[in-house]
Structure 1
């Protein structure tokens, strides 16, 4: 009964963590140009829920789709794949 079904999963880089329990991640994808055939890098910014506030700017994280949590948040933080290098 606890099966959630198939949810979309995205991997991206944290670009903002200034909000309480929220992060903004940038997800990059390659799109082929319709006329010239060259692949173009496109970026999508997603707001995600980070309950424990463990994400730092520059971290590579995995997020999954969820029910709407606010007007712009439809993703939940799952795990940190790689930590950002501290300078």
Structure 2
């Protein structure tokens, strides 16, 4: 899951976009690449997975 956050640079006063990738567990493989989902922190599932997909954003 890729999470993007935007903030204003303290010196340059320009809006900056930063992204961070999280490995999230999708129990039934119900979501495809490009879907917007909600994730929640959980106990460790594997070496790198600490997030679970809770629901998808149906627009």
Aligned-CA RMSD value: 1.4
- Which structure 1 residue ranges, 4+ long, deviate > 6 Å from structure 2? none
CA distance in 1, matches of 2:49, 2:31: 16
TM-score, with length taken from structure 1: 0.62
CA distance in 1, matches of 2:22, 2:54: 14
TM-score, with length taken from structure 2: 0.88
The structural deviation recorded for 1:31 is 2.4
CA distance in 2, matches of 1:34, 1:77: 33
2:38 to 40, 51, 62: 62
Q: Which blocks of at least 5 consecutive residues in structure 1 are unaligned?
A: 1-24
> Which structure carries more strand by proportion?
1
